[in-house]
Amino acid sequence: MEAFWIILAGTLVAIPCGLLGCYLILRNMAMVGDAISHAVLPGIVIAFFVSGSREPISMLLGAGVLGLLTTFLIEFFHSKARLQTDAAIGVTFTWLFALGVILISVFAGQVDLDQDCVLYGEIAYVPIDLWITGSGIIMGPRVIYIMGIVFLLVLSFIVIGQKQLFLTTFDPSFAAATGVNVALWHYLLMGAVSFTTVGAFESVGAILVVAFLIVPPATAYLLTEDLNKMMLITTLLGLAISFIGYHLAVWLDGSIAGAMSVVAGVLFGLVFIYKEITSRPALVN
C-alpha cells in the first residue's frame, strides 16, 4: 500500500508538471518553471507564518502570489530594463529564494519548515501524512487530495485553453492581431505553473518539480512532432518515472525524489542516444 501511495503521488505531480512543461519548453521558457519553483519559497514561509499552520489554501495563495510576482518581475526586467530573459530569470529567482531561506532560518524556532524539506521534499512521508477529518475518520494521504485537485485543475485548464495556448505559444503576434489576450494567457499559464509547483512542493521538493516540468516534455519533444502526442508521451513518461524511480530508491535505500529525477535524466539520455543512432544517415560502403 505504501508503494502505491508514493507512486500515485509521484504520478500526480509528474502529469500536471509535464503538461505545463510542454508549453514552457515550446515558449523557450523552461527555466521560468525553475525560477517559479524556487521563488515561491518566501510566499510559502510568509503564508505559513501568517496562518500559523500548513493549511494548504493559504500556502497556495502565498505561493501563487509570489509565482505571479516572479513572472511579472522577469517580464518587467526583460522589457523595461532590456535585460536578456535568462539574466532576468537569474536575477529574479535567486534573491527571492534567498529571501525565503533567510525567513526560514530567522523563524526556524517557530516554524515547522526547513530548507532540506523544501529543496528535496520527502515523498516517503506521503503515506503517513494522513488527512483526518474533525470526527476522526481517516481519509488517506493528504498529498493525494492536494495533488489530485491540482491535477484536475491543470487538466481542465489545458483542455479548455487548448486552442489559445497553442496559438499564443506558436505565434503570439498573430494571436494578438486576432484579438486573443496574449498577456492574459501568459499569466494564466504562469499561474498554473505556480500553483502546481507549490502543491507539489512539500511532498516532492523543488528539484523533482523542476525535473518533472522540463525533462519529460524535453524527452517527448525528441520523439514526436505533434503537440498532442507530445503531451501524451509526457504523461506516460511521468508514470514510468514515478514507478521506476520508486523501485530504484527502494533497491538503493536512497532518496525517492532523487531516484525519480535520476530516472527522468536517464530516460532522456536513452531517447537522445536512440535518436542519434536512428537519425544518422546510413554509411555508404
Partner 1 sequence: MIHQVETPIVELHDITVSYHKKPVLWDIDLTLPSGSIIGIIGPNGAGKSTLLKAMMGLVELSSGYVRIFDQDLDQVRSRVSYVPQKESVDWDFPASVLDVVLMGRYGKLGLFTRPRKADKEVAMECLRQVDMENYAGRQISQLSGGQQQRVFLARALAQEADLYFMDEPFAGVDAATEKAIINLLKSMSKQGKTVVVVHHDLQSALEYFDWAVLLNLRLIASGPVNQVLTPELLQETYGGKLTLLAAVGDLLTKKEFPSRE
The grid cell for 222 is 525528441
Beta pairing class for 138-141 and 130-132: antiparallel
Taking CA atoms, 83 is separated from 79, 88, 91, 184, in Å, by 7, 6, 10, 22
CB nearer to partner 1: give 151 or 221: 221
* Nearest distance from C-beta of residue 6 to partner 1, angstroms: 32
Alpha helices in 224-253 (DSSP H): 227-252
Can you give the binding site for partner 1, defined by CB under 8 A?
26, 28, 82, 160-161, 163-164, 166-167, 169-171, 173-174, 176-180, 221, 224-227, 229-230
CB nearer to partner 1: give 28 or 53: 28
* Nearest distance from C-beta of residue 218 to partner 1, angstroms: 12
CB nearer to partner 1: give 163 or 275: 163
Residues belonging to the chain: 285
CA distance 243 to 217: 18
Sequence-distant contacts of 143-149: CB under 8 A, at least 24 apart? 143/9, 143/202, 143/203, 144/5, 144/8, 144/9, 144/12, 146/56, 146/199, 146/203, 147/9, 147/12, 147/13, 147/16, 147/199, 147/200, 147/203, 148/12, 149/199
* Nearest distance from C-beta of residue 189 to partner 1, angstroms: 15
CB nearer to partner 1: give 22 or 118: 22
CB nearer to partner 1: give 106 or 177: 177
* Nearest distance from C-beta of residue 239 to partner 1, angstroms: 21
CB nearer to partner 1: give 87 or 184: 184
**Burial tier of 49 (Cβ tally within 10 Å: 0-12, 13-18, 19+):** middle
The grid cell for 215 is 525533462
Cα-based torsion angle of the residue sequence 143, 126, 5, 254 in order, rounded to the nearest 10 degrees: 140
* Nearest distance from C-beta of residue 132 to partner 1, angstroms: 39
Nearest by Cα to 19 from 109, 153, 132 = 153
Helix (H, G, I), strand (E, B) or coil at 201: helix
CB nearer to partner 1: give 69 or 213: 213
CB nearer to partner 1: give 30 or 176: 176
* Nearest distance from C-beta of residue 172 to partner 1, angstroms: 9
Backbone φ and ψ for 130, nearest 5 degrees, come out as -95, 155
* Nearest distance from C-beta of residue 106 to partner 1, angstroms: 40
* Nearest distance from C-beta of residue 179 to partner 1, angstroms: 4
